[in-house]
Amino acid sequence: MAKIAWFGTGMMGSGFVEALLRRGERVAVWNRTPEKTRLLEALGATGFADPSEAARGADRIHIMLSDDAAVDALLDRIASAIAPSAIVIDHTTVAPRPTAARFERCERESIAFLHAPVFMSPQMTREGKGIMLCSGPAERFERARSFLAAMTADLWYVGERTDKAAALKLFGNQMIFFITAGLADGFALTRSVDLPPREAFELFSHFKPAATIDFRGKKIAEGDFSSSFDLTMARKDARLMLETAQAGDVELHVLPAIARWMDETIERGYGDRDLAVLGADAVPVRA
């Protein structure tokens, strides 16, 4: 049986370890705060105070920490204990440039490294649901494919570009932030006319805003800003929203910034283009 070392036993890491233990895996665990490993030890994991001892002899090393600095500091402590045959998979949400640098460091130190961030909740980690992205050398991914697939419902290998999974993970989380902030602003708008949030939420039983991602997301990605909803008309609607909220003495946080962005884009001569032209700085604009 393979020995697995898991570093980082917060809500997400603990969920993954619990799933590994249920499958009968042998797991060593380490966390900066040792108390967070106690429950996992009660379930059969072996806890270590010294991360290098947890890593020693491991066939697979999984990392799920807070940020780039934490991952780099851990590698500093365990690098000498990593077996030449071991594979190291970092599931931490980190930035693209430091991730690329981390791959380079691991290559210099003969550490087989992959980056595999996830779109999961803690419960999904226990149940093997959600999405796991992975980037790094193809041969290395093939070595890891079977055991990573057992951890998720959707294992997506995004290719050999080492920072790609990190970039896509940030993009995905950014969309979660934007959607959540947009919902908060939207409920504030409806509150300004005394429409309760539960009643406002009924809109989504008919109107499916996710279709905007498929439609306008594709238009932005392809630089196609031929219009089905002129930016000037969208700006008129934004004015109505802002006026409605102001009349109801409700502050909006996201929409004012979008309105300013619309104004700036219209001033650049894009008013007759589709609303998607807000993405003009991200891609070339077709003539």
pLDDT, tens only, 87-102: 999 999 999 999 999 9
Query: Do 210 and 102 fall within a single domain?
Result: no
Q: Which domain holds residue 230?
A: 168-279
CATH number of the domain enclosing 267? 1.10.1040.10
Give the tens place of pLDDT for each residue, 105-115.
999 999 999 99
| In-domain check, residue 259 | yes
Question: How far is residue 203 from each of residues 187, 190, 243, measured CA to CA in Å?
Answer: 11, 11, 21
Out of 141, 161, 181, a domain closes at 161
- Work out the average pLDDT over 214-243: 96
How many C-alpha atoms does 276 have within 13 Å on its Cβ side? 22
Length of the chain: 287
pLDDT of residue 286: 62
Whole-model pTM?
0.94
CATH number of the domain enclosing 36? 3.40.50.720
Q: What is the largest CA-CA distance in the chain?
A: 67
Nearest residue to 49 (alpha-carbon basis) of 35, 62, 61: 35
pLDDT over threshold 80, residue 1: no
| In-domain check, residue 63 | yes
DSSP letters of 31-78?
Answer: -SSGGGGHHHHHTT-EE-SSHHHHHTT-SEEEE--SSHHHHHHHHHHH
| In-domain check, residue 284 | no
Query: Do 57 and 145 fall within a single domain?
Result: yes
| In-domain check, residue 287 | no
- Work out the average pLDDT over 175-186: 98
Give the tens place of pLDDT for each residue, 44-86.
999 999 999 999 999 999 999 999 999 999 999 999 999 999 9
Q: How many domains does the chain have?
A: 2
Give the tens place of pLDDT for each residue, 230-242.
999 999 999 999 9
* pLDDT confidence bin for 266, thresholds 50/70/90: very high
Out of 161, 191, 215, a domain closes at 161
Query: Do 138 and 212 fall within a single domain?
Result: no
pLDDT over threshold 60, residue 282: yes
Query: Do 14 and 86 fall within a single domain?
Result: yes
161 near 197, Cβ under 8 Å?
A: no
246 sits in which H/E element: helix 231-247
Query: Do 104 and 146 fall within a single domain?
Result: yes
| In-domain check, residue 286 | no
pLDDT over threshold 60, residue 287: no
Query: Do 123 and 260 fall within a single domain?
Result: no
Query: Do 178 and 152 fall within a single domain?
Result: no
Nearest residue to 174 (alpha-carbon basis) of 185, 166, 186, 184: 166
